[in-house]
Amino acid sequence: MDIVTRKQLNILIQLAEADKHFDDQEKELILKIAKLRNFPEDSVKELIKKPEPIGTFGALSDNQKFEYLYSCIELMMIDEKIFDSEIIFCIDIAIKLGFKKDVVHFLRDEIKSKSKEELRPIIFQRFT
CA-CA-CA-CA dihedral for 68, 1, 49, 25, to nearest 10: 50
CA 78, distance to chain mean position in Å, is 12
Q: What is the CATH number of the domain that holds 8?
A: 1.10.3680
Alpha-carbon span 10 to 41, nearest angstrom? 13
Alpha-carbon span 128 to 83, nearest angstrom? 25
pLDDT tens digits for range 42-96: 999 999 999 999 988 878 999 999 999 999 999 999 988 899 999 999 999 999 9
What single-letter DSSP state applies at residue 50? S
Number of domains, the chain: 1
Alpha-carbon span 5 to 18, nearest angstrom? 20
pTM: 0.88
- SS3 of 74, please? helix
pLDDT tens digits for range 7-29: 999 999 999 998 888 889 999 99
